[in-house]
């Protein structure tokens, strides 16, 4: 498996991306380009992930296809995994949680898997 420092996702709109990745997941918004792109991070880094609408404005959930379909998020400890599971549940987001990993989907059906670093 490869480790990638930055992931850029094509999303349907930046406001929904901000609501999911910042308000729900708890990433910090570090930069934005109006309604075109959002850059987020954890721990003060300039950005770990970005979401843009450059080729996907108005897109709905992605269909299974070749290409990126899963992003892994490395969390520092079990407490962080538990807190993420609780936050997702509070926001009504379906998860698979085995106590070591939490798997869920973003609004565009990109799978995210949070696990211990």
Q: What is the CATH number of the domain that holds 14?
A: 3.10.180.10
pTM: 0.88
Identify whether 15 is part of a domain.
Answer: yes
Token pair, residue 58, equals: 């108005």
Identify whether 38 is part of a domain.
Answer: yes
d(CA 78, CA 110): 23
Identify whether 1 is part of a domain.
Answer: no
Identify whether 20 is part of a domain.
Answer: yes
User: Would strands 28-33 and 37-41 be described as parallel, antiparallel, or unpaired?
Assistant: antiparallel
d(CA 102, CA 112): 8
Identify whether 23 is part of a domain.
Answer: yes
Domain that holds residue 16: 7-59+68-116
Q: List the chain pLDDT tens, one digit each, 117 residues.
A: 566 668 899 999 999 999 999 999 999 999 999 999 999 998 777 778 999 999 999 999 888 776 677 899 999 898 999 999 999 999 999 999 988 899 999 999 999 999 998
- Position 2 scores a pLDDT of 60
Identify whether 2 is part of a domain.
Answer: no
Residues 77, 116: contact at Cβ < 8 Å?
Answer: yes
**Distance from chain centroid for Cα 74:** 12
User: Would strands 7-10 and 49-52 be described as parallel, antiparallel, or unpaired?
Assistant: parallel
Biggest alpha carbon–alpha carbon distance for the chain: 38
User: Count of domains in the chain?
Assistant: 1
């Amino acid at each position: 498996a490869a480790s990638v420092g930055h992931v850029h996702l094509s999303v349907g709109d930046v406001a929904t991306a901000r609501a999911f990745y910042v308000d729900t997941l708890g990433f910090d918004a570090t930069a934005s380009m109006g309604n075109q792109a959002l850059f987020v991070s954890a721990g003060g880094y300039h950005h770990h992930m970005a979401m843009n609408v450059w080729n996907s404005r108005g897109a709905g959930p992605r269909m299974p296809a070749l290409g990126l379909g899963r992003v892994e998020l490395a969390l520092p400890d079990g407490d962080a995994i538990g807190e993420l599971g609780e936050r997702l549940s509070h926001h009504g987001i379906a998860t698979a949680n085995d106590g070591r990993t939490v798997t869920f989907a973003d609004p565009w059906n990109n799978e995210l898997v949070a696990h211990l670093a």
